Each structure stands twice: as structure tokens, then as C-alpha cells.
Structure 1
Amino acid sequence: MNARRVCRFLGLLAAFAAGLVPALASAQGAASAWPARPIRLVVPFVAGGGADVAARLIAAKLQMQLGQQVVVDNKPGGNTLIGAQELMKAPPDGYTLLWSIDQTFVLNPSLYNRLPYDPRKDFTPVALAITSPTAVIARTQAGSVGDVHELVKRARAEPGKINIGAAAILSQMALEEFNRSAGIEITRVPYKGSAEVAQATIAGDIDAAFDGMAPYVQFVKAGRAKILAVTSARRFSGLPDVPTLDELGYKGVDFSVWFGVVGPAGLPPEIAKRVSDGVDWAIRQPDVVEKLLVFGFEPAAQTSVSALKGRIDSDLVRYSPVIKKLGFKLD
């Protein structure tokens, strides 16, 4: 390179640096001043449901930590696709965040052939917030199964004749993995929603259910239903006497619903860290924990940015082959 070209290159480099430094300073300044106005938390669920209630509980505490109002904006529909796309329209300035379920990030990529987003590239993980295990539930009337071992014993004696209800895709996946682990052939009876599964369980239309716990709380309190086991890696804190399937000897059946907060791609790390710290504080407040347990939720053990990113990465790898095996598709 001759002297003229060297001088020209150095001039261009200096000009680039002169423009870059103020831009970086401006971005850093904006992050340090954040939040200067209310924050919108997009919730891709209808108002009043368990997911929405949990979001509002956390939003109320989060605004105490951040010093700005956190406004919940419900954008339900499309298996959370509508809410996810709403976030993608927002600038990465920390004033629009998304509260969402694992469905958005680790189930939809395998359920849709043409997903309008990339779960790894189009979002910034912020905080893993709460989890909820799938439960094995049976009615308490005479003739119903007393525990998981009895359920397996009956299934082995009558292959294909034991009927188990499940609605959510994660619950259906957990049931299929339980079949595999126990070496049995339980018939999976799909339902549109958990309310239908709960009613069928209590009515005796099915032998048991693999489902979330919230719809069964009233029946358990009334002595009409019992939780036989949970599918999480550890016991649910709200039911410390209920064993996990792993403890009972049925390995690999670890399926828990989780909710978390994400931002748009390019969200500054400083803002993500502040929100993550705020969420961690919020979910550990006694009044929040008490209310979450009613809906079958509990605080996540780890809530950091890296914890959520790691959960997304690991669940994408783990769930994809199970969904493919079961042939689930939504488009």
C-alpha cells in the first residue's frame, strides 16, 4: 500500500471512529438514564388467566424497583405469535418487553413450518421468572388409581386400555415420555383445554390426567382429586409431600412450564441486567410467592439473563425430537 493510500485509509478510519464514539456514548447514556418513562409489558394471553395474573403481580413489584410504571398490554392469540411479533416491532430501548411462556421460544419453532421469528436471533433473553410442573392427577372416588405405581401396574395388565387426559402440548409430551420410561401403553386422550380435562377426570371419563395444577386446586381441597406426582426435576414447593416421577423411578420425564421476560434483539445488556435483578426480587416477595402458588407457579431457582438463554437453548434441543416423534403441527 503506497503512502497516499495509507493516508486515505487512516483518514477514513479516523472519520469512522469520530462518528462511532459519540454514537456509543449516546447509547451508553440512554441505558444509564433508563427508565425515564413508563415501560410496556406485552402479555400474549387474555386478561384474568393464570399467566396474566402472574404477569401483573410481577409488573407491580417491578415498577417499585425501577421507579417507573410497568403497564401490562394484553395481546393474546396465535399461540403467543401475536405478542411475539408485537415485541419485534419495538425499538431495543427497554421500553417494550414481553412476558411469555416456553411455547413462544421452544415449542413453536417445531410446531410451525413458517414461524415469523427466530427464537435465538430476534429476542434478547432477560429473566427466567416462574415455573410450573405438569402433574399426574386422579380422582379420589373408589376404584380410581391410588398412586403412580398402581397406574403403571394397571397399564401393564391392560395395554392400551388406561386413558389419560392431556390438553397442553407439554403435558402430552410428558405423558408420552412417561409411557416410554415406564414401558407401558397408556392411551393419550387429547382435550382442548385444562378445564375440560379436569371435568373429565372428576367425572371418571378418564383414569387420570397429565395437566397443570391450577384447575384442580378446588377439587383437591374438596377431597375429590389428588396429585399423585409432578414431572419436574425437583418437588414443587407448594406440594412438598408429592414426589417427582424421577423419585418414583420413572426417569427422563422432566417437563415444566416456564415463563420469562424478553426484550427485542439488541437490548443493551445494562437494561437487561436491571430488569433481571428486578424480576428476581419481585418473585421472591412473600405475598407474590403466596399468590403464585395458588396457580401452581413457583419462583425459578435461577432468573438471570444467562439462565433464560440456557433454558431456551437446552429446551430447543430436548423438545424438538419429541415433538417430531409425536407429529404435532400447528400449520
Structure 2
Amino acid sequence: MNVRRVCRFLGLAAASLALVLPALSAAQAAWPARPIRLVVPFVAGGGADVTARLIAAKLQERLGQQIVVDNKPGGNTLIGAQELMKAQPDGYTLLWSIDQTFVLNPSLYNRLPYDPRKDFAPVALAITSPNAVIVRAGVPGAVADVHELVKRARAEPGKVNIGAAAILSQMALEEFNRSAGIQSTRVPYKGSAEVAQATVAGDIDAAFDGIAPYVQFAKAGRAKILAFASSRRFSGQPEVPTLEELGYKGVDFSVWFGIVGPRGLPPEIVARVSEGVDWALHQPDVVEKLLVFGFEPAAQTGPQALATRIDADLARYAPVIRRLGFKLD
């Protein structure tokens, strides 16, 4: 009798499953059937927000569904990351992520509310922006190139003041000091706008920073970008060398942004979003606008490219952060 009941139960379960599976398959095939929320862990109006909206607009065009940007700033991107962790892995909530969330915060916080490898699904590596060495221009005695900056720092240890704001920029500066064998003084600022103003005002001798705030000053002849702290030249200014080319090894600190989803995001949805991002980054108007903000499309954009970048930067940045003693808690 028990055997009959078990068989009957299994038969009913199989029948129910047969009804449910086609429905689930149809629902997945219909994705996206409603607007997608793109969480941006920054305030509206900044470079991170503007680039997110630029990519979102094109991705919306590609997917045929509205993408709503939802700004969730604060906590060095922790608030935005936790917002994503609360979402269902159905493709209707994604995160416009910056490198800090995945490769800096794990070393900057003793207790992090997420695991950068286990709690998210990499979707696409989208854009990168190099840190750069920038100096004041158009004044007597202006530094002509990186070698001259290094020569001055060696002649007067500790007296060459170099400004930096973001933690990644400060890391780039300290690694440059190490590679060049110099002792410049790091002058921390709250934001890039302050560093840029201090640079053109002559309050500091140089800056390590992203290039967006300096574009207008460079065009006006008030600032000069000497080199990029990246593995490749920036396509927006291909005439400017990298520090690696100039002989200063290991100073590769580019900012990157990408898209991730909640853990368990179906691979079919990952593939569609990834393809849409790649398509968006090949549109000439997108590339043109990105260059204005000091960004360019990543060389590789797929989910594996993002996962590989996270792993590589975690391994590379952790010892630098430990050596410098940076902490946020």
C-alpha cells in the first residue's frame, strides 16, 4: 500500500513538473518582460553616473526594454552592493560596479558584508580609465616630462609634493615612488576636482589622478598629462606614453567599471546583457562620449573577462594596500 502511495505521489509530482518547466522556460525566453533596474552606487551627475546612463541607454535599445538607473550612493559602494544582494537573480536588478567594490574593499575593510567572488555573477567588463601623472603647464619652470619630475624628487627628497584623491590614485603614486626610487610627499585630497585646482594653481608639484577633470585645463594650456599609469596607452590621447614604457615598472592602476548581477543569475541572461554591453561599446557615439570623460571601452568585455580582472586585481592590490596600511574601518 505504501508503495502504491509513493508511486502515485511521484506520478503527480512528475506531471506537475511537466507543467511548470515549460512555463519557466517561456518566462526566461521572454526576458526582459518588464523594466530592468540598474543600481549605481554613486550620486547622480558624476562620471560614474553619466557613464552608467550612457551604457544603459544603448543597452535599453539593444534589449528592447526600459532600463531604470537607481542611484544608491554611500559606504564606498557598500550600499549599492548590498542592494543587489537583496535582489532575486531574475535579471531585473543589475549593478553598475566599480573596481573598488570587488578588488579594493576586501582589503580596506576588516569585515565586509559580501564575498566579491561568491556573492555576485560577473556579467560584463565595460570601460576603463587610466590614472595619470599630471603637472601644471604654461608657467616658467614647468615640469617637461616624467624623467624631470623624478630628477627633481631625487635632488630634494620629500620636497616634491604630489596630490591624489582616490585610493587607487594614492596607490599608483606610492608604487611610482617605489619604482622610481624616489621619496615624494603624498598630499591627499577629498576629490579629483580639488586635486585639479591645486595642480593648475601651483599648490602641488604634480598629481596622480584620473584625467577627466584635467581635459579642459590641458586644452587651455594650463595642465599637461605626462604619462599614464596603465598597461596600454589611452586611445583618447595616444601620443602620451605609459609609465611602463618610460621604464617605471609595475605602475598599472586603471579604474574599471562593469555590470554584475546577483548570485545565481541564469547564464542565458548573462549572455544577453554581456552581448548588449559589447554592442553598445562598439557604437561610435558611445566611444566619443566616453573619451570626453576619460574612459574607453575595455579590451575584453565578457563575463569571463570581468571575473579574470577581479581575480587578478585582488591578488595584485591586496599586498600594496597592506604595505601602505590603508583601512576604511
| TM-score under structure 2 length normalisation | 0.94
State the secondary structure of the residue aligned to 2:124.
Answer: strand
Asked if 1:48 is matched to 2:7, the reply is no
Residue 83 (structure 2) aligns with: 86
Alpha-carbon shift at residue 30 of structure 1 (Å): 2.9
Q: What CA distance in whole angstroms lies between the structure 1 residues aligned with 2:322 and 2:31?
A: 43
Alpha-carbon shift at residue 298 of structure 1 (Å): 0.3
State the secondary structure of the residue aligned to 1:117.
Answer: coil
1:164-203 residue pairs with structure 2 within 5 A?
Answer: 164-203=162-201
Residue 264 (structure 1) aligns with: 262
Alpha-carbon shift at residue 8 of structure 1 (Å): 12
Q: What CA distance in whole angstroms lies between the structure 2 residues aligned with 1:17 and 1:156?
A: 77
Asked if 1:115 is matched to 2:112, the reply is yes
Residues 197-222 of structure 1 deviation map (CA, whole Å, 9 limit, x = unaligned)? 11111111111000010111111111
Selected match of 1:291 from 289, 292, 295: 289
Residue 103 (structure 1) aligns with: 100
Equivalent residues of 1:167, 1:197 under 8 A apart: yes
Instruction: Please report the RMSD computed on the Cα atoms of aligned residues, expressed in angstroms.
Output: 2.1
Alpha-carbon shift at residue 142 of structure 1 (Å): 1.4
- Higher mean Cα deviation, 283-292 or 250-259? 283-292
Q: Which amino acid aligns with 1:78?
A: G
Selected match of 1:65 from 62, 71, 88: 62
| TM-score under structure 1 length normalisation | 0.93
Q: What CA distance in whole angstroms lies between the structure 1 residues aligned with 2:168 and 2:5?
A: 60
Q: What CA distance in whole angstroms lies between the structure 2 residues aligned with 1:24 and 1:181?
A: 58
Equivalent residues of 1:42, 1:73 under 8 A apart: yes
1:1-331 residue pairs with structure 2 within 5 A?
Answer: 26-140=23-137, 141-331=139-329
Q: What CA distance in whole angstroms lies between the structure 2 residues aligned with 1:61 and 1:93?
A: 21
Q: What CA distance in whole angstroms lies between the structure 2 residues aligned with 1:20 and 1:132?
A: 49
Residues 277-310 of structure 1 deviation map (CA, whole Å, 9 limit, x = unaligned)? 0001112211111111111000001100100011
Alpha-carbon shift at residue 69 of structure 1 (Å): 0.5
Residues 201-248 of structure 1 deviation map (CA, whole Å, 9 limit, x = unaligned)? 111111100001011111111100000000111100000100000010
Alpha-carbon shift at residue 144 of structure 1 (Å): 2.3
Question: Structure 1: where are the runs of 5+ without partners?
Answer: none
Q: What CA distance in whole angstroms lies between the structure 2 residues aligned with 1:315 and 1:16?
A: 47
Q: What CA distance in whole angstroms lies between the structure 1 residues aligned with 2:244 and 2:73?
A: 35
Q: Which amino acid aligns with 2:108?
A: L
Alpha-carbon shift at residue 21 of structure 1 (Å): 6.9
Alpha-carbon shift at residue 18 of structure 1 (Å): 7.2
Q: Which amino acid aligns with 2:182?
A: I
Q: What CA distance in whole angstroms lies between the structure 2 residues aligned with 1:18 and 1:275?
A: 34
Identity %: 81
Q: What CA distance in whole angstroms lies between the structure 2 residues aligned with 1:60 and 1:80?
A: 22
Q: Which amino acid aligns with 1:169?
A: I
Q: What CA distance in whole angstroms lies between the structure 1 residues aligned with 2:256 and 2:223?
A: 24
Query: Could you say if the C-alpha distance between residues 72 and 155 of structure 1 is closer, same or farther in structure 2, counting changes exceeding 3 Å?
Result: same
Query: Could you say if the C-alpha distance between residues 189 and 23 of structure 1 is closer, same or farther in structure 2, counting changes exceeding 3 Å?
Result: farther
Q: Which amino acid aligns with 2:288?
A: E
Q: What CA distance in whole angstroms lies between the structure 1 residues aligned with 2:157 and 2:12?
A: 75
Q: What CA distance in whole angstroms lies between the structure 1 residues aligned with 2:224 and 2:201?
A: 14
Q: What CA distance in whole angstroms lies between the structure 1 residues aligned with 2:11 and 2:281?
A: 48
Q: What CA distance in whole angstroms lies between the structure 1 residues aligned with 2:309 and 2:13?
A: 38
Alpha-carbon shift at residue 155 of structure 1 (Å): 1.1
State the secondary structure of the residue aligned to 1:113.
Answer: coil
Equivalent residues of 1:144, 1:207 under 8 A apart: no
Q: What CA distance in whole angstroms lies between the structure 1 residues aligned with 2:96 and 2:259?
A: 5
Query: Could you say if the C-alpha distance between residues 68 and 153 of structure 1 is closer, same or farther in structure 2, counting changes exceeding 3 Å?
Result: same
